[in-house]
Structure 1
């Protein structure tokens, strides 16, 4: 349903970085031609530097006291620690040296435009020839481990998964928003724009009278499906599907409303989207099951896939799905389920279809991990898939 919109704002699903790909230490925005205008030969700039206020996920220093031989760099669109190490130190593999001096950056994958970076130019590498041969010959996927190398496990669930997570509200979207005390986006700085992206200014309901403070973060929500019906049948709908769109940060709270910056989004943000309080999600390391041989033994009450993101019929690795079993069935966040499809086949040669005897078996489709649980439903992220997972397929423990 929203695929064209995501293409318009540049959806970044490919940001899931394998632990060995240091070159994927991405800033939050795409590279722009203006980045090429940066100085070619850095020069030290000792002294005190005041940092302009800006939207960032990190608690950046407001004043920099630069030691002799150091330089400050203000992050621009497209910057990465990998690229900054190559530019200032002459060696992209030296990015941990920059991170070491800027420990307020909690995750080197994310540096934000406007963030201040301190770089010790004494650590620079004058020429590629001065880099040991066993380093210059390395590719990002076969670097040795060591104290200066950040070893990151493959994640089954990360922040970028969180901000595009769908979930089922059985009571209906309106009742859910009311129960959460949700605010709304009512306008934006550039009123002619219908679809908004990262870094843009928006206006919201909810101000100091409602307890909103400067720096507060909110998850942006949107209703994407109403009265979802189960493939199992039944007269009553399962509920409404709500999609998490992104996160914004309040920069100027007023009495009854606030000015905010869209901090991160994987889909376009729109006027009318709802806002609920943000809680930092936990990353969950990948843990795959090995009992994947056919036929797959089904639990007594397997879950069924009832929704695929963007109402897609087929889903694959990395996609998020909703199933019709939740905490009432004993499911919890972190459970890894096997996706299974039943298959009937004939075991007789009767010509009449009615008289043909059949047997039913199951075969393995993939694995999915529970990432959000409601009493009667759960959201899962597909970890691995050998073939497409469809609405109506089963998930079992």
Structure 2
């Protein structure tokens, strides 16, 4: 089972889970059941993730914040576990912990390995195990863009290149027209795939093609009304008409899976890179965003949308029954939301039993 990676460089105390937390733990939801064959302990090794480790103990790996005993405020802070530490399953309390069951958490019990909180002033988190694998989602944190329908008309745009060059690359000078809104570092994009709501057919946004980055050299000064930029990096050739959007801040996130605060009933909107079917560790977009109550770390259950088929048993003259019948949606996997826009979100497929396609259902875990 693959997982994401925590992206953070903050210096803080390594607040390590149950047994060292001041606030009382809340009871885990009924859905957060331990596996019948869950081990008593697990030695953390390099390459482990919190999702992986929790999957060894739990039927649903995303439940790990509850069984660590973390409340909603505590899970917002960085939580570090390092290779060489031991995760224990306390069967009496139904919790996972870094303290051997029966110890007082201070390492005083006989045979108990001392695993007290660690304060690190240098490199905190560098060697810590990840929550989930960043190599898959990191590009989506800084590069692919969701551009609202009404945003396109207001974004600055390239109107010319130096010496009339139409195709532009790294270190080239370009001239940009539009309101920079005080920014100096921009991503360059080209409107790409339209994203339409599978339920309503309404155009929600465009998934833009990421071209590279541009840095402001000098703002427009009368009588000129264009800004001068230099292309700082180029993934694809740029040209006149391509648009600029302010570069997002560096992502500093502690990914913690949790159930959405509100009931979510979404549909898969698109599969990144344009393929027809998606599998494990692939990114999809869904037609719900921040206005619907989704946030980073929300977990949704995936279902293959049940087909509507003709009922061959319907006979002429049978009243009150439709000739068409909808088959039930079939559970297919788990989706982890890692980037949220206003009406749309990106999610990573964590586990899947059958391929996911556009139109499939993504909703709150039951």
Higher helix proportion? 1
TM (norm. structure 1) is 0.46
TM (norm. structure 2) is 0.49
